[in-house]
Amino acid sequence: VQLQASGGGLVQAGGSLRLSCAASGRTFSGYHMGWFRQAPGKEREFVAGVSYSGGSTVYAHFVKGRFTISRDNAKNTVFLQMNGLKPEDTAVYYCAASKFALITPDIPMQTYAYDDWGQGTLVTVSS
């Protein structure tokens, strides 16, 4: 599946952004979907994931209560609503698709479990 992320930008601390990730292909609903981020000089890290059906979600501890992941399988799109943004949230955000949905309902948090990646969208939070 091909992924195209959008919605990044510059926002002040405490503000909100909504990222979108549009997927091509007819099998979108068969993938778990995840959002990752990578700050300069740091490794890529898991942010949030949603199961293939949209019925389950999982979050990294540092975004829990602030970010919400969702998906619309009819529109082949996954979203990340980000509220209460902090300067440390500044990073390039990537959406990714995991075929682990074929073998487990559990949403993976490891980068190696994701097969297809979008190009990334930059989020900058000013203090």
The pLDDT score that the predictor gives to residue 59 is 98
Tell me the per-residue pLDDT of 2-55, one tens digit each, with 9 for 90 and over.
999 999 999 999 999 999 999 997 689 999 999 999 999 999 999 999 999 999
Cα distances from 59 to residues 43, 45, 51, 79, 84, in angstroms, run 17, 11, 12, 13, 15
The pLDDT score that the predictor gives to residue 100 is 87
The pLDDT score that the predictor gives to residue 101 is 83
Contact 68, 49 (CB under 8 A): no
Tell me the per-residue pLDDT of 59-110, one tens digit each, with 9 for 90 and over.
999 999 999 999 999 999 999 999 999 999 999 999 999 998 888 889 999 9
For residue 21, which of 90, 91, 93 has the smallest C-alpha distance? Answer: 93
3-state percent helix, strand, coil for the chain, nearest multiple of 5 = 10, 45, 45
